[in-house]
Amino acid sequence: MNRHAKPGVDVIGDGSDLSMFANRTVAEIYAPYVYQRFGFRKELPNALREAFRVLIPGGVLRLCVPNLEHIANLFAESQLETLHRFQLQTLLYGEQTDATDFNRSAWAFQLLAQRLYLMGFRKIASQTPFDLFNDVSSWKFGNVLISLNVICETETNATVLNNSGNQLLAQGMAEEAIDQYEMALLLAPDKPFIHSNYLYSLNYQSTPNMEKIFVAHKKFGEFHERVAAKSVALQSPAPVNIQTGAHRPLRIGYVSSDFRQRAVSHFIEPVLAAHDKSKFELFAYYHHTVVDDMTKRIQSLVTHWRSLVGKSDADIAAMIRADGIDILIDLSGHTATNRLPMFARKPAPVQVTWLGYPNTTGLSTMDYRITDAFADPPGLTEAFHTEKLHRMPESFSCYSAPADAPLVTPPPAKRTGRVTFGSFNNFAKITPKVISVWSNILNRIPTATLFLKYKDLESVPMTQFIHHQFMTCGVLVSQLRIQGDDPSHVEHMNRYNAIDIALDPFPYNGTTTTLDALWMGVPVVTLEGASHVGRVGVSQMSNLGLQELIAHNQNEYVEIAVALAGNLEKLSTLRVGMRERMLASPLMNVERFTRNLERAYESMWNARAQK
């Protein structure tokens, strides 16, 4: 490719739109003096994404951009006449440009190599002139080579890119992680774990596009439903027996890899214990090898226990049909080690997704998604789901307080004289936008501290990364306290006694972390979002009668946090009465919640039987 027609040039094109080429069909791209015309942080990644898309695995990208390091020196030399400056600027950009623009540019090899690496390119090296078509790679000005010539190849291993995405997401760099997953999918579109990682990462975007996110989820469903339809092992769903309720309990199957010490288990365990066993026969389908105390407790609460480890989707679907499951519940969504492709085979007459994932599965074979009217207000999100939304009358989940939770202590600010904000959420939720808003709070209260805790945060690379992110926003390192995992759950819960106010991340809210903080008496400031992932805090605070902690925009979020920090008396009152407030709320009324859930199951079954 080239900007101009020359002998040997096959196509003249726009580097940001290579739609004339199918995926992985081009062996080599040569882009002379093209990419410097794109914005380095936004347009350039889009152009490089297009290049990666069309190149074959191991395909070559050759590019030339102005060598800023040399050009800046040329501008600095007094002997460079005005006429020469104009000629140079015209040569590079086609128009006169202020010399200071070069100093703000990012076209130096190290920065360009970093961007290329993030966009899936490897073996990145600077070159002497390419000598292709007697081209711009050999341009000189004042005997100085002014072209930065770079050659690189596309990564060939999808797992490498997937793992890179995982690492970037863990650092709160959702946009960069999404790029990695998208490129991994180009290399391995048939890998469901990569596809689920990609969809999961979309929930972390600072400014999510709900329509695009839905389309991406729907593509997952369509792909795996096509695969299921072609399977010779695919059978028709078990026939619906409309008299089931009169002859035997409804058979409910719960599918999860989290029947262990994981957040989902703390929500499902009390429900399993409260289920009416005379009306519901419970099956648990467990897809993991870990067996801990939580696993054993859950196993004791169900009539039938099945291991899915090592079993294919076809084998599991056959097992579920043989068990005569009436309603099959997915508790994972697009989280790790899910079995969603198995649900594409429709092994049960009614299939439901709940609890583990804050979005649609994208499967048309998934009949319902359980939520509530706070997290998914009627009319707001139905269009972005393949499932029918079944709204619980109060909350979409029910919390059981940890038995080992320590006693609540007075607000630490009364002892230290300085307010401590905190978040123990997955750092993937702490995006640059969240850091900017939290920094605004800390800058408003220079004596305040922010306590961040999550696994691996104490590592030197992560600590340095976090310090840099906040320092860029004007926060002092002395205002930050960073810690990794605690050795025990008791110690973890006790850390909340070191926090005055918890800050809920956005747009991906906390769930278990928020409820743990509240149980320890810590008020949580949350920001209302546009979809379930950003409205969990709204659901929780509304069910607690704490609407005053719900912000409707980022400025209000800051104001609520700052005002609360300035009112120690209110902090003390909230802290002392929080457990009683929670115990009296729908969030902890397990019996009422389970009866509502059972009525939901019966309603779903009756609706299916009448079709």
Q: The CATH number of the domain where 147 resides is what?
A: 3.40.50.150
**CATH, residue 472:** 3.40.50.2000
Using pLDDT thresholds of 50, 70 and 90, give the confidence band for residue 83: very low
Mark 125-147 as b/e (b = at least 16 C-beta within 10 Å): eeeebbebeebbbbbebeeeebb
Lowest mean pLDDT among 81-95, 482-496, 539-553: 81-95
Q: How far is CA 548 from the centre of its chain?
A: 27
Pick 575 or 2 by higher pLDDT. Answer: 575
- pLDDT score of 23 more than 90: yes
Residue 130 pairs with which residues in a beta bridge? none
pLDDT average, residue stretch 104-124: 85
Do both 527 and 547 map to the same domain?
yes
Between CA 206 and CA 172 the distance in angstroms is 10
Does 15 map to a domain? no
Give pLDDT, residue 4. Answer: 64
- pLDDT score of 37 more than 90: no
Query: Edge-to-edge strand order for the sheet containing 420-423?
Result: 480-483, 449-453, 420-423, 501-503, 524-527, 550-551
Q: Let me know: does 116 contact 125? Beta carbons within 8 Å.
A: no
Do both 385 and 255 map to the same domain?
yes
pLDDT digits (tens, 9 = 90+) for 340-397: 999 999 999 999 999 999 999 999 999 999 999 999 999 999 999 999 999 999 999 9
Mark 394-424 as b/e (b = at least 16 C-beta within 10 Å): bbbbbbbbbeebeebeebbbeeeeebbbbbb
- pLDDT score of 337 more than 50: yes
Residue 285 pairs with which residues in a beta bridge? 255, 306
Using pLDDT thresholds of 50, 70 and 90, give the confidence band for residue 273: very high
Share of the chain above pLDDT 90, in %: 77
Between CA 561 and CA 549 the distance in angstroms is 8
Do both 483 and 506 map to the same domain?
yes
Do both 491 and 556 map to the same domain?
yes
Using pLDDT thresholds of 50, 70 and 90, give the confidence band for residue 81: low
Between CA 331 and CA 340 the distance in angstroms is 10
DSSP state of 408: P
What 3-state DSSP class applies to 525?
A: strand
Does 506 map to a domain? yes
- pLDDT score of 184 more than 60: yes
Does 505 map to a domain? yes
Does 135 map to a domain? yes
Do both 520 and 601 map to the same domain?
no
Do both 513 and 464 map to the same domain?
yes
Domain extent for 68: 26-156
Does 1 map to a domain? no
Does 3 map to a domain? no
DSSP state of 401: -
Token digits for 6? 């020359």
pLDDT average, residue stretch 172-190: 95
Q: Let me know: does 67 contact 107? Beta carbons within 8 Å.
A: yes
What is the DSSP annotation of 115-143? HHHHTTEEEEEEES---STT-GGG-EETT
Between CA 149 and CA 12 the distance in angstroms is 20
**CATH, residue 596:** 3.40.50.11380
Do both 436 and 369 map to the same domain?
no
**How many domains are there within the chain?**
4
pLDDT digits (tens, 9 = 90+) for 508-563: 999 999 999 999 999 999 999 999 999 999 999 999 999 999 999 999 999 999 99
Do both 584 and 435 map to the same domain?
yes
Query: What does the chain come to in residues?
Result: 611
In the predicted model, what is the mean pLDDT of the chain? 90
Task: Tell me the residue type at 568.
Answer: L
Lowest mean pLDDT among 72-81, 171-180, 501-510: 72-81
Classify burial at 549, counting beta carbons within 10 Å of its beta carbon; exposed 0-12, middle 13-18, buried 19 or more.
Answer: buried
Token digits for 268? 């499902």
Q: Let me know: does 330 contact 353? Beta carbons within 8 Å.
A: yes
pLDDT digits (tens, 9 = 90+) for 275-288: 999 999 999 999 99
Residues 6 or more apart whose Cβ sits within 8 Å of residue 33? 3, 64, 65, 66, 92, 136, 147
What is the DSSP annotation of 446-486? TT-EEEEE-TTTTSHHHHHHHHHHHHTTT--GGGEEEE---
Token digits for 114? 């970093």
Listed in sequence order, the DSSP H helices in 566-589 are 568-583
Residues 6 or more apart whose Cβ sits within 8 Å of residue 492? 424, 485, 486
pLDDT digits (tens, 9 = 90+) for 211-263: 999 999 999 999 999 999 987 544 554 444 444 445 789 999 999 999 998 98
Question: Of 254, 66, 230, 228, which is closest to residue 145 (Cα–Cα)?
Answer: 66
Do both 524 and 565 map to the same domain?
yes
Angle at 499 between CA 463 and CA 469, to 5 degrees: 25
Does 405 map to a domain? no
Pairing of strands 304-307, 55-66: unpaired
Cβ count near 96 (within 10 Å): 9
pLDDT digits (tens, 9 = 90+) for 284-333: 999 999 999 999 999 999 999 999 999 999 999 999 999 999 999 999 99
User: Which residue, of 156, 173, 207, is where some domain finishes?
Assistant: 156
Give pLDDT, residue 311. Answer: 97
Do both 254 and 369 map to the same domain?
yes
Cβ count near 95 (within 10 Å): 7
Angle at 48 between CA 43 and CA 54, to 5 degrees: 130
Please tell me the chain's helix, strand, coil percentages from 3-state DSSP, rounded to the nearest 5: 45, 15, 40
Classify burial at 79, counting beta carbons within 10 Å of its beta carbon; exposed 0-12, middle 13-18, buried 19 or more.
Answer: exposed
Between CA 333 and CA 256 the distance in angstroms is 9
